[in-house]
Amino acid sequence: MKLAAERPFANPEAAARKLGELAGGIEAIQDDRIHIEKINAPFLYTFNASGPEFGAGIKHGVEVGWLELHESARYVRLLKV
């Protein structure tokens, strides 16, 4: 018996892929940077993900080389998806 629905972004790889997809659809600013809130808001509110899922997705994306997180943590750069 399942009491809760599966969370599609509970897997960090799935969250990182979705974040990469969102980042790919946003026009970058100087130095190909993307404001993190431009991927944060749709991820949290459109796809009903959670903050920890967002954090895990960013972390996984950085670890595998898909995303680069700016030292200020206000920007990301899409490297590859």
The predicted-structure confidence for 20-49, as pLDDT tens digits, reads as follows 999 999 999 988 999 999 999 999 999 999
For the residues 2-30, what does the mean pLDDT come to?
88
Distance of CA 50 to the CA centre of its chain: 11
Nearest-angstrom CA–CA distance, 53 and 8: 10
Q: What is the CATH number of domain 12-78?
A: 1.10.10
Write a three-state SS string for 10-79: CCHHHHHHHHHHHHHCCCCCHHHEEECHHHHHHHHHHCCCCHHHHHHHHHHHHHHCCEEECCCCCEEEEC
| Mean residue pLDDT across the chain | 90
Q: What is the pTM of this model?
A: 0.87
| DSSP code of residue 9 | T
Nearest-angstrom CA–CA distance, 32 and 25: 13
Q: How confident is the model at residue 2 (pLDDT cuts 50, 70, 90)?
A: low
Q: How confident is the model at residue 8 (pLDDT cuts 50, 70, 90)?
A: confident
